[in-house]
Amino acid sequence: MPVGLHAPLAGSLKPIAGIALGVAQAGVRKANRDDLLVITLPDTATVAGVFTQNRFCAAPVQLCRQHMQGEGPRALIINTGNANAVTGDEGLTRATAVCAALASKLGCAVSQILPFSTGVIMESLPVERIVAGIPAALENLDENNWLRAAGAIMTTDIVAKGKSVTCAIEGQTVTVTGIAKGSGMIHPNMATMLGYVGIDARVPAGVLQTLLNAVTNESFNRVTVDGDTSTNDSFMLMANGRVDAPTVDSVDSAAYAVLYTAVSEVAVFLAQALARDGEGATKFVTILVEEGRDRAECVQIGKAIAHSPLVKTALFASDPNLGRILAAIGYAGISDLDVSQVGLWLGDVEVVRHGGRDPAYLEARAAEVMKREEITLRITLGRGTARDHVWTCDFSYDYVKINAEYRS
């Protein structure tokens, strides 16, 4: 089961005025499961997005990027079960056909539809099934459908992931609601697997994009399950632009700071949820790297540790074989690292001081920490004042089983 993570309660995900969500069972890959989601937006909405940097980015990602450059988006359409990735020109044609089918129903331009897919790579998108499912999704469009939508975008996820927070801007309550999916193939490079966040506010597109970039860097770009960046990663931020909603039109304003905090809270929760629901995960791990020269090298070392199969399997076994962590620090690529200045803590247990085993270290104490479901590793580099963090999980037997049987 996911580490300290539970499915959102009914009613806990608050609606965003004007943003409606509809779900259908299109049978994209498996029958009798929600696998198609349509999100419609009001004419006043603005949208920002970040996408995978994988060079084999999927056809819907390519098309979505193109459509983001045109008229204001009116709807998003998301399918699970098929990634429509590594499918060449045919993949683009099929993604366009899905957009055209939804556009005809909504009476808007094809370029105002943003497509997203997740699932098996290198298989043709079953356009006919998706198109056939669109009417059912439109029939149950509802502003209160965030919870069902969170379930509809799942693939190997065990629980749906969603979060709502509120903040006060210009004396008005502003709601931020978000959902995300992801469990394996998780190593975002300025994106997440699939994530959608709505805001009840007026935010110009440029300000919204700045906000999204900043939030992503502090949330989804700090989580990794297995070091694999998906071909389909997309994270979208949607402001409804309601006429009487508070306006956030400057990154230097107090209103922006308040909104940033709210959106960041949602994004951090969702990012951590990905690691907590990592395929077969039994441990949620926070890696803190401190006293670096800059944040980049702190993240570099944190990810080296987080990606090590030897570290991750030791975590699963609750085995304080902590030399594996030091080895990862050593090969992280910091060529001038003075290892005699490195320190390591496992929870509140000091393991390494000045590059060597702490004289007071007792493995029995470390073993107790390793048994916990939530563990913090803290590394000090002794070369500056910068600090940063990475969230990850362990590798269990189930990680291999889930990925070995993914297409069966």
Catalytic positions, written as ranges: 192
Nearest Cα to Cα of residue 28 among 115, 141, 132, 101? 132
**How would DSSP label each residue in 281-296?**
---EEEEEEEEESSHH
CA angle 102, 234, 193 (to 5 degrees): 115
Consecutive H or E run containing 263: helix 254-276
CB 323, CB 366: distance < 8 Å: no
- What would the two tokens of residue 223 be? 């989580």
d(CA 132, CA 17): 28
Pairwise CA distance, residues 90 & 39, whole Å: 25
Q: How far apart are CA 340 and CA 408, in angstroms?
A: 50
Structure tokens at 174: 């502003």
Q: Cite the beta strand spans of 223-355 per DSSP E.
A: 234-239, 284-292, 343-346, 349-353
Going by C-alpha positions, the residue among 72, 66, 123, 116 that lies closest to residue 95 is 116
CB 90 within 8 A of CB 130: no
Q: Which residues contact 186 (CB under 8 A, 6 or more apart)?
A: 193, 223, 224, 225, 226, 228, 230, 274, 275, 278
CA-closest candidate to residue 230, choices 184, 280, 284: 184
